[in-house]
Amino acid sequence: MNRKQPSFLRLPSLPAHRSSTMTLKEKNGPMYTRLPKMIVFDLDCTLWTPWIDYTYGPPFQYDAETNTMKDKRGEAFRLFKHVPEVFAMIKQWPDIKIGIASRSTTPDWCHTALKMFQVPSMDCSLYDLIDHMEIYPGEKRQHFKELHKASGIDYNEMLFFDDEHRNKSVTWLGVHFELLDPSKGLTMHHFNLALERFSKQSKRTQTTLDQYGMK
Ligand SMILES: [Mg+2]
């Protein structure tokens, strides 16, 4: 797909209700020379906690007020706080796709949870905002090969968030990897830093490829 992006891209402004807690950089919006074409997320301990396989499973109950779920024994299962905001922000860039790469052994439970967890500012579920989904056990490079096949997006145009170091193996394909703290999951702060790092790294990669006549 041929998608033209301006040479400098500003981060979209955040919802007004966050203005009092935002840093100056967040308020002004950092500048990027390049953005990923697909942002991919792991599920367990990246978007939610704990691991969904370790819950007692469905039927799940959703509490819209707190954006949390309970499993069949009433134990809480929650989305990390900034996840809906990050998804809404990505969708302000219409050309950036959202992908999921998870090794979960309970893909049907994952689908249910993604459909239940809401993005209040967009009046839809997380599921509604996801473009490509690969959920099954196995090495994550396989997940990315499928994401590449389905989307046509090059590996070096993908940014991946995951809480497990072993999944860094996707960098062998050229994917930009961001390791998260499993106790915090995806935070707005880490998301912004990752976009900055992606922008800088992409520039270096391009220079190197040009230098060796590989582009
Ligand atoms: Mg995980």
Over residues 148-165, the pLDDT tens digits come to 999 999 999 999 999 999
Residue range 160-185: average pLDDT?
97
Mean pLDDT of the chain: 86
Cα 44 to averaged position of ligand 1 atoms, centre (Å): 4
Q: Which two tokens stand for residue 37?
A: 């074409």
Burial class of residue 165, CB neighbours in 10 A (0-12, 13-18, 19+): exposed
pLDDT at 1 over 70: no
Number of domains in the chain: 1
Catalytic machinery residues: 42, 44
Packed helices 188-211 and 83-90: angle between N→C axes, nearest 10 degrees: 40
pLDDT given at position 9: 58
What is the CA angle 72-133-119, rounded to 5?
65
Residue 60 lies in a domain: yes
Question: Residue 123 is part of a domain; what is its CATH number?
Answer: 3.40.50.1000
Give the range of the structural domain holding residue 68, as residue numbers without chain letter: 38-211
pLDDT given at position 203: 59
Cα 112 to averaged position of ligand 1 atoms, centre (Å): 17
Cα 167 to averaged position of ligand 1 atoms, centre (Å): 9
Cα 155 to averaged position of ligand 1 atoms, centre (Å): 20
Over residues 81-132, the pLDDT tens digits come to 999 999 999 999 989 999 999 999 999 999 999 999 999 999 999 999 999 9
pLDDT at 2 over 60: no
Residue 161 lies in a domain: yes
Cα 28 to averaged position of ligand 1 atoms, centre (Å): 32
Residue 53 lies in a domain: yes
**Ligand 1 being an ion, which residues bring their Cβ within 5 A of it?**
42, 44-45, 163
Residue 78 lies in a domain: yes
